[in-house]
Amino acid sequence: MTDAIGLQTLEQALNALTARISSLREAKSAYPADPRSTLDAALAELDTARELLDASVRELRKAPKRSGERESGSQRELKLLRQVFRTFPIPVVVLDASGVVRRISAETSRMLGSPAGYLIGRSFPLFVDVSRRAAFRSHLTAVQQGGQTATLQTRLAHQGRAHTVQLAVTRLTMPGEPQEMVAVMILPLEAQVAGPPHGPADRSDATLVMAAARRQELLSRMTRLLLDEESLRQPVTVTRASRLLAAEWADWVIADVVRDGMPRRACVLGPSDKPVTQLVRLAEGMNPLTAPALAHVLTGGSGVVHEMLEDDGLLGDVPAGPPLLRVMGAASVLIVPIGGENGVLGSLTLVRLRDREPFSLADLGLMEEIGVHLGLALRARRSFQTRSRAADALRTSVVPRSLPDIPGFEAAAIYNAGSSPVGAEFYDVFRAGEGWGFALGGAAGKGEEAASVSAMVRNGLRVLSVWETDPGEVMRKLNQALTAQHNGMFVMAVTGFIKARKIRLASAGHHPAALLRPDGGVRFTAGGGVPLGIAPEAEMFTEELTLTSGQTLVFYSDGLVASQNELGESYGETRLADVLARCVAQSPAEIVKTVEEDRHAFSGGRVWDEIVILALRVV
């Protein structure tokens, strides 16, 4: 069919072609095990379709030459030919010299899953499989220059639909067009649909509402994840956020964070159903600064979306290899900054492959909001960690990491911080002159101020014990120093100096110690005195004990005896004495553990105040 034909003949040939293609589709469905003969026939029909399209173009060329009374007939013929093109039974696309879509048949729009208006103006090579895109562009150029028809087998993908197709590319001269065009006829060989198509193919109100609901749900889940306590305590904020996005919104997620003024790769996640371990490692080792798109987002502070990827070098090249996005098989890319008060804290890069719906401007808005939330979470974590380190430093200043060995004694202690993030109770064992000293107590109140006062008292006891041999004198001097500060804080404390088997105690408003004898008997020391920091001349109560082998002295904080059960009853010193009586012959470590376990059972695991128990046993 090389010559121009009449419109009636063209219309008849088109109807016959439509019928034959319908028969081939039925044959393919009826005989799926014998695709070869159907494929050969379909390729032959593709040549027939190309010839019909050539004939249509020749008819269009003739139209402008007609004049006079025949002008109205020419216009009717043009309309008829346009209708023929729209109803052509084989997908056909008309491209300009640069490969941009200028005309598209209804069958092509149906196959790709988008209306013609959405696809016109798009670069057609973006629909072609990445691995064959360069080959298609070469065929396109060769057809334009040489005029010969070229064929190419590849995959077309758009809106979650993937088709294995045979393309026939031929040159066209369109009437009314200043430049030559190229027609691409598409013969589908195999189609794969990844699910119901979304996006531009369906603009119904219900679809838009569902898409908005999905975005809102993702934002809500991300917020809950970022506010989780683990995200504040552990350096997992970015990783956890990336995992959620990889599971719900993208095939690939790359997270970069700024540390010491330089962007560093924090996380790379790929499709879980594909063997991408090696590619993940390559991406993890890449420098974010080599990626032009990342540099643009990190310096500009605004996100970008490439709905249909044209430049696969946006994320740089793998080491000694091709562009990273090309190896991934990327079709759509979205990059947003992780917001910070004084600059960008990092970036999130999301990549979708060709069998998924491309990213949209709505997705960009959602991810920019997530980037802001992630930035807030990172700043909150840094603030939390700063305060946590300060709290740990304060806790270390009131609670020793371990107890030293005291000649002739065994020592053990237990500390339960309760609900207080920063403890105000302290205990300590230290060298004092020619012997050893110990102390236990706590400032009235909670928080950092109370903890700092307790730390000052603990360190003051250590310093003064170097020169003073009487614990009562140490406490008096410490009381004078505390009252001179006029901070309104007071401290209940007990301290003792050990020399051989003699212990001299000084108490400033503290609970009495419990003395456990080898026969199971329990008695309490005097305790008492006035807490430190109330008055400059406050009285300290002193007492001297001489212990024998097997005796254990147990000191405890108010949090132990003040613990309550569900009836509001206090644990008290009577119950403590009963528990200690059952601890005869136990080591100090076993004693403090037994007492804490009993208190835990008594109070149902509830702890309102700090609990300190210190046991000293004569060997």
Q: What is the DSSP string of 151-180?
A: EEEEEEEETTEEEEEEEEEEEE--TT-SS-
List the one residue out of 514, 517, 400 whose CA is nearest residue 455. Answer: 400
| CA 121 to mean position of chain CA atoms | 37
Low-confidence ranges of the chain (pLDDT < 50): 1-2, 65-71, 194-203
Q: Which helix (H) or strand (E) holds 287?
A: none
Are the CB atoms for 478 and 457 separated by under 8 Å?
Answer: yes
d(CA 271, CA 280): 10
Strand 425-432 and strand 252-259: pairing? Answer: unpaired
Tokens at residue 456, please?
Answer: 């000052």
Q: What is the pLDDT of residue 205?
A: 63
Dihedral sign for Cα 74, 80, 83, 88, please.
Answer: negative
Q: Which helix (H) or strand (E) holds 360?
A: none
d(CA 16, CA 613): 98
Tokens at residue 87, please?
Answer: 């109803």
List the one residue out of 359, 356, 363 whose CA is nearest residue 197. Answer: 356
Are the CB atoms for 374 and 347 separated by under 8 Å?
Answer: no
d(CA 610, CA 556): 10
Burial of 39 (0-12, 13-18, 19+ CB in 10 A): middle
Are the CB atoms for 90 and 187 separated by under 8 Å?
Answer: yes
d(CA 475, CA 481): 10
Q: What is the pLDDT of residue 197?
A: 44
d(CA 419, CA 355): 52
Tokens at residue 472, please?
Answer: 């009562």
Other beta carbons within 10 angstroms of residue 144's beta carbon come to: 17
Helix axes 7-30, 71-86, angle to 10 degrees: 10
d(CA 553, CA 523): 10
d(CA 315, CA 298): 13
d(CA 249, CA 198): 14
pLDDT per position as a tens digit, 135-173: 888 888 888 888 888 888 888 877 666 788 889 999 887
d(CA 318, CA 140): 29
Q: What is the pLDDT of residue 279?
A: 95
d(CA 408, CA 405): 9
Q: Which helix (H) or strand (E) holds 452?
A: helix 447-464
List the one residue out of 573, 574, 576, 588 whose CA is nearest residue 619. Answer: 588
d(CA 78, CA 71): 11
The identity of residue 492, as a single letter, is M
Torsion angle of C-alpha atoms 558, 507, 540, 420, degrees rounded to 10: -40
Total count of residues recorded for the chain: 619
pLDDT per position as a tens digit, 116-131: 677 888 888 888 877 7
Query: DSSP letter at 319?
Result: T
d(CA 405, CA 466): 18
Helix axes 588-603, 572-581, angle to 10 degrees: 130
Strands (E), 52-125: 92-95, 101-104
Q: Which residue has the tokens 């393919």?
A: 28
Burial of 213 (0-12, 13-18, 19+ CB in 10 A): exposed
Helix axes 361-398, 205-227, angle to 10 degrees: 10
Are the CB atoms for 49 and 185 separated by under 8 Å?
Answer: yes
Burial of 25 (0-12, 13-18, 19+ CB in 10 A): middle
- For the entire predicted model, the pTM comes to 0.51
